[in-house]
Amino acid sequence: MIVLEKRPQPSKAWSYATPLVAVVATMVFGGLLFAILGKNPVEAIGTIFWEPLFGEFSFYYRPQLLVKGAPLVLIAIGLSLGFRAGIWNIGAEGQYIMGAIFGAGVGLAFYPLDAWYIFPLMVLAGAFGGWIWAMIPAFLKVRFGTNEILVSLMLVYVAEQLLASVSLGLLKNPEGFGFPGSRNLQSYDAAHNAELIAGSGMHWGVVAAFVAVIFAYVLLNRHMLGFHIRLTGEAPRAAKFAGVNPPRLILFCLGVSGALAGLAGMFEVSGPSGVVSIDFNVGYGFTAIIVAFLGRLHPIGILLAGGLMALTYIGGEIAQSQLGLPAAAIQVFQGMLLFFLLAFDLLTNYRIRAARSEVA
Amino acid sequence: MNLGEINPILLIASLMVAATPLLLAAIGELVVEKAGVLNLGVEGMMIVGAISGFAVSVETGSPWLGFVAAAIGGALLSLLFVLLTQFALANQVASGLALTLFGLGLSALLGQSYVGIKPPSMGDIHIPVLSDLPVIGPILFQHDPILYVGIALTAGVWAMLKYTRAGLILRAVGENHDAAHALGYKVIRIRILAILFGGACAGLGGAYISLIRVPQWTEGMTAGVGWIALALVVFASWKPWRALLGAYLFGGITVLQLNLQAAGVAIPVEYLAMSPYIITILVLVILSADKSRAPASLGRIFHASH
């Protein structure tokens, strides 16, 4: 008989090791899945993890890592603050959409003016769009005690409908021959989130992601507010005695995560995507939840996890075109990762012992 | 715009159809939460149920077998939740999210070759005399059998929780798992059964969407119904009959907005389509004042040291 014995303190070693163990387990079971689908598992896993980094066309794929990783890291950093304090914002997808709508809306309002201040204004508008969308569950939770999980999630569907509405109406390209979707911001220089160094994939969103990582690190390790966030998650009762103000914490955590998700959406719509369209959002807001957990809710961890998840996105696309691996298989693969991570986390908090048979 | 085209009898009849997936999923989740477990994976279990039910009924030609498969599919997925939360003692919120993300991916993978196919139809029941009654007949007695299964399930769960020993034990586990454990009840075992039941119900609800309500398979077709079902459990303050009422209310809103879309009301389609979600939020706000009815051990991890 096997019994679990709670560790007096979470194991440091295992907390670093579990993400790696989870990745390995996902590769094994993912490989099995690919084998069931009739693909060579070694080849498929190799294509996903090797090809984008060191393959023949890696000069093209490496910049893509930054492009795909930046929104994931940006959103996940925000989510991790709340998750640490037990505040569950799972509507980042909606906040991402709202950031894109607000940011693009401001940019398009100035069209075709060419001025230096347009892009900074768009950045502010994007952050504001995400922030205000996250303030809805935050305010309702603080004022009425409404469950933020359900409210933030419901707002994703509302945001998707708003996105459809503006791409068919308000923000539709007047010269688009009646097709849905806005003007392409990539061809409007003052509003274009262009690559800072051509061909590097480095755009302002990537810069913002790195800045967010540093800020989150400083906040959590050197700031009273960060201490309060950690305390609330780890010892809610102690947090009360330490004078934590829960409503303030809720407003802060949801607000920051909303603003960061909004920024991610804004940088995406003004850069890699270029247009506000019905299918603008591709699920970064949900994948970022996996990234946050895979990174152990730690800023540096999230940075690494974001990179890894971006790798599975790009590698997945390559595997799709080269091996005919279905897109959904990659989604399953990413979901598996979260499963194994949560399962192996047991080892961080508990010791597994073989029970001696005792006589009571 | 022509509101006269909306037929109130058809409206109420289709309201019941729209409400059934919600009801099935909500009743399952209600039992799970009564046992003190918060499974946020309803959406994932529904969509997996939707595709497994769809695939099996297309392959076998029998919608009944499809529904059986859907229940099994939902329960199998919930088994993953069992492993995570009851054995690996993982956080229930995170595990539920994992279940939903995984379920959405898995269903898309399984459903690739089923896009654009029509499933075999189940057909509506016909009771002599009753079904032919004017007004009442079409509203109450001319539906598919699963709709009545949903209502029967509500009654069954209500009676089980209120009058049986099993129901009492289930509630005890949900209210105070340490006390229940001290009394010698197998907390983990009871919770596992509840979670599997919840998974099977969610699976049925999903299959109801893909086999009867729509009936077709498209990726992500549950479109948040699982999440609304979670909200519904709160709305019902963990009472089965109120879940039924709530499901009909939400079903009514869904059907009404679809009818208004069809009738060409001056409100843009997108705003009508977002109304069920906004109303869910409003209802949650109104009801969130009363937290006293929630099972006391809801979402807490149980680990017996002895």
The CATH number assigned to the domain holding A161 equals: 1.10.3470
pLDDT band at A275 (very low <50, low <70, confident <90, very high): confident
Residue A161: pLDDT above 60? yes
Nearest CA in chain B to A86: B93
Cα–Cα nearest to A255, from A325, A162, A340, A152 = A152
Q: A6, A136, A154, A312: which to substitute to probe chain B, counting the most B Cβ within 10 Å?
A: A154
B280/A286 CB distance under 8 A: no
| Contact residues, B window 187-226, toward A, CB-based 8 Å cutoff | 219, 223-224
Distances (CA, A) of B164 to A285, B171, B194: 44, 11, 15
Q: What is the pLDDT of residue B31?
A: 92
Q: What is the pLDDT of residue A261?
A: 94
Q: Tens digits of per-residue pLDDT, A27-45? A: 888 888 888 888 888 888 8
Q: What is the pLDDT of residue B46?
A: 93
Collect all residues of chain B within an 8 Å Cβ-Cβ radius of residue A158. 274, 277-278
A150/B89 CB distance under 8 A: no
B113 interfacial to chain A (CB closer than 8 Å): no
List domains and CATH numbers for chain B.
3-114+144-287 (1.10.3470)
Residue A250 lies in a domain: yes
Q: B270, B275, B298: which to substitute to probe chain A, counting the most A Cβ within 10 Å?
A: B270
Q: What is the pLDDT of residue A53?
A: 82
d(CA A230, CA A215): 15
Residue A221 lies in a domain: yes
Residue A225 lies in a domain: yes
Token pair of A22 as six digits? 């989870």
ipTM for this prediction: 0.84
State the CB neighbour count (10 A cutoff) for residue B155: 12
Q: How far is CA A36 from the centre of its chain?
A: 30
Specify the higher pLDDT residue, A159 or A327.
A159
A338/B97 CB distance under 8 A: yes
Q: What is the H or E stretch that residue B91 is in?
A: none
Q: What is the pLDDT of residue A355?
A: 67
Q: What is the CA radius of gyration of chain A?
A: 22
B268/A169 CB distance under 8 A: yes
Q: What is the model's pTM?
A: 0.87
Residue A160 lies in a domain: yes
How many CB pairs (< 8 A) connect A and B? 134
Cα–Cα nearest to B75, from B31, B19, B141, B124 = B31
Q: What is the pLDDT of residue A262?
A: 94
Q: Tens digits of per-residue pLDDT, B36-87? A: 888 888 999 999 999 999 889 888 888 888 889 999 999 999 999 998 888 8
First to last CA, chain B: 68
Distances (CA, A) of B111 to A283, B51, B108, B117, B285: 19, 6, 5, 11, 36
Q: Is residue A342 within 8 Å of B84, Cβ to Cβ? A: yes
A332/B106 CB distance under 8 A: yes
Instruction: Tell me the residue length of chain B.
Output: 306
Number of domains in chain A: 1
Token pair of A299 as six digits? 């800023």
d(CA A227, CA A84): 11
Q: What is the pLDDT of residue B119?
A: 79
B278 interfacial to chain A (CB closer than 8 Å): yes
Q: Give the minimum alpha-carbon distance from B250 to chain A in angstroms, rounded to a whole number.
A: 14
d(CA B227, CA A150): 7
Q: Tens digits of per-residue pLDDT, A199-243? A: 777 888 888 889 999 999 998 888 888 888 888 877 778 888 888
Residue A65: pLDDT above 70? yes
Collect all residues of chain A within an 8 Å Cβ-Cβ radius of residue B278. 154, 158
Residue A157 lies in a domain: yes
Parent domain of A192: 38-325
Token pair of A97 as six digits? 């959409």
Residue-by-residue pLDDT tens, chain B, 306 positions: 456 666 777 777 788 888 899 999 999 999 998 888 888 889 999 999 999 998 898 888 888 888 899 999 999 999 999 988 888 888 888 888 889 888 988 888 888 888 878 877 777 767 776 666 777 666 666 777 788 888 889 999 999 888 988 888 888 888 888 888 888 888 888 889 999 999 999 999 999 988 888 888 888 888 888 888 888 888 888 888 888 888 888 888 888 887 787 777 777 888 888 888 898 888 888 877 666 677 777 877 777 765
